[in-house]
Structure 1
Amino acid sequence: MPTTAVPTLRVRDVERSLAWWARLGFTEVFRHRFEGTQPWFVGIGREDARVYLSEHAGDAPGPALLHLWVDDVDRVAAELGVPVEQMPWGRECEVADPDANRVRVATAP
């Protein structure tokens, strides 16, 4: 099995976060809660990328910064209405989710 890393982001409202991440092409992979009133822990994915969204206050208090590498940052930036910048490592744009977690979307040169 190849090595993978999955970031966990703290969110206050998992439903609001799921809708926001859907704009980046992510869909829900799983949902877990220990008991009926406990906070949600949700896995989302897009192709081979995975992110965990946690309503648990002790899981990654954040806000965090996550880098997402895609084939066409210009298309993603146009959909999100944000500018693209040329950086030494590639072209990128940055957006923030409803909980102030920053996502840098980039395409390598």
Structure 2
Amino acid sequence: MFSTPQVNIYARDVETSLGFWSALGFTETFRTPADGPPDHVELTLQGLKIGMGSAELGVTEHGLDIHLDERGRGMEVVLWTDDVDAAHALATGRGARSLQEPHDVRALRVAYVLDPDDNPVEFVAHRDDAG
């Protein structure tokens, strides 16, 4: 019944969000329009597909009730990594706001940032020293 799952994020500025997610290793696989500033871009990383659409067009073309505020919209993207600290540094170096600095929780190393549209992104790794 269902196939090809993806997460959609509504962005204030699709190009700014594209730069953020590209820096985290996602590869652009689709954009529209083909020329000029994009209204919608799709990115993938190891099977996870993220669609990024213009919040403005979500409202004007689809009639969606989209409110971009500092709280985001109740979703997060989880990215497993070998180096949480480096991932956190990369993201904050690209303008992400830190929600939680890298820290240890049980057998995991974890950090959280907000992407350019205030969606939470969790970086997580298994700790080698956790017994």
TM tier relative to shorter chain: 0.7 to 0.9
> 1:44, 1:90 → 2: CA distance?
27
Task: Answer whether contact 2:88 2:113 (CA < 8 A) is retained.
Answer: no
Q: Is 1:30 the equivalent of 2:30?
A: yes
Cα deviation for residue 89 of structure 1 reads 5.7
TM-score computed with the length of structure 2 as normaliser: 0.63
User: What residue number does 1:49 align with?
Assistant: 48
User: What residue number does 2:113 align with?
Assistant: 95
Following TM superposition, the consecutive aligned residue runs of length 4 or more in structure 1 with deviations greater than 4 angstroms are: 59-62
Where does the alignment leave 5 or more consecutive residues of structure 2 unmatched? 93-97
* Correspondence 1:55-66 to 2 at 5 A: 55=54, 56-57=58-59, 58=64, 62-63=72-73, 64-66=75-77
User: What residue number does 1:69 align with?
Assistant: 80
User: What residue number does 1:86 align with?
Assistant: 104
Percentage identity across paired residues of the two chains = 32
Q: 1:74 to 1:42 in 2, by over 3 A?
A: same
Give the helix-richer structure, 1 or 2: 2
Cα deviation for residue 101 of structure 1 reads 0.9
Task: Answer whether contact 2:20 2:91 (CA < 8 A) is retained.
Answer: no
Q: 1:48 to 1:60 in 2, by over 3 A?
A: farther
> Which has the larger displacement, 76-85 or 17-26?
76-85
Q: 1:59 to 1:25 in 2, by over 3 A?
A: farther
